[in-house]
Amino acid sequence: MSGEGVSGGWDKQIDVLVIGTGAGGMASAVFAAHRGARVLIVEKSGLYGGTSATSGGGVWIPASDSALAQGQQDTPEEAYTYIKGLTGNMVADARIRAFVETAHVMKREIEAISDLRFTAIPYTDYQAEKPGGKMGYRSHACNTMDARDLSREDFETLRTTHPSAMLFGFIPWTIMESAPMITRGPGWKTTMAKVLWRYYSDIPQRLRSARSRFVVFGSAIAGHLKNALNRDGGELWLNATLVDLVKDASGRVEGAVIRKDGRDIRVHAAKGVILAAGGFERNQAMREEHLPGAESRPEWSAGQENNTGDGIAAGVRAGAATDLMGEAWWAPTLSVPGETRARPLFYERALPGNIMVGQTGERYMNEARSYDIAGRAMIDADRPDRRTIPSWIVLDSRFRRKYPMGPVLPLVPDWLLPKRVRQMYVKAKTIRELAGKMGVDPDRLENTVNRVNRFAVTGVDEDFGRGSAPYDRYYGDQSVQPNPNLAPIDEAPFYALKVYPGDIGTKGGLATDETARVLDTAGQPIPGLYAIGNNAASVMGPSYPGAGSTLAPAMTFGYLAILDCLGDPGAA
Other C-beta atoms closer than 10 Å to the C-beta of 231 total 14
Distance CA(312)–CA(320), nearest Å, equals 9
- φ, ψ (nearest 5 deg) of residue 275: -85, 120
Closest C-alpha among 30, 8, 61 to residue 558: 30
**How far apart are alpha carbons 224 and 503 in whole angstroms?**
27
- At 100, give phi and psi (nearest 5°): -65, -25
Q: Is the peptide bond before 131 cis (omega within 30 degrees of 0)?
A: no
Q: Pick left, alpha or beta for residue 304 (phi over 0 → left; psi -120 to 50 → alpha; otherwise beta).
A: beta
One pLDDT digit (tens) per residue for the chain, 572 residues: 344 333 458 999 999 999 999 999 999 999 999 999 999 999 999 999 999 999 999 999 999 999 999 999 999 999 999 999 999 999 999 999 999 999 999 999 999 999 999 999 999 999 999 999 999 999 999 999 999 999 999 999 999 998 888 888 899 999 889 888 888 888 989 999 999 999 999 999 999 999 999 999 999 999 999 999 999 999 999 999 999 999 999 999 999 999 999 999 999 999 999 999 999 999 999 999 999 988 899 999 999 999 999 999 999 999 999 999 999 999 999 999 999 899 999 999 999 999 999 999 999 999 999 999 999 999 999 999 999 999 999 999 999 999 999 999 998 999 999 999 999 999 999 999 999 999 999 999 999 999 999 999 999 999 999 999 999 999 999 999 999 999 999 999 999 999 999 999 999 999 999 999 999 999 999 999 999 999 999 999 999 999 999 999 999 999 999 999 999 754 44
- Distance from C-alpha of 510 to C-alpha of 529, rounded to nearest angstrom: 11
Cα separation of 519 and 531, whole Å? 10
Predicted local distance difference test score (pLDDT) of residue 328: 97
Give the pairing of strands 525-531 and 263-275: parallel
147-162: pLDDT as tens digits: 999 999 999 999 999 8
DSSP states of 35-98 = TT--EEEE-SSSSBSHHHHHS---EE-TT-HHHHHTT----HHHHHHHHHHHHTTSS-HHHHHH
Sheet holding 59-60, edge to edge: 59-60, 139-142, 118-120
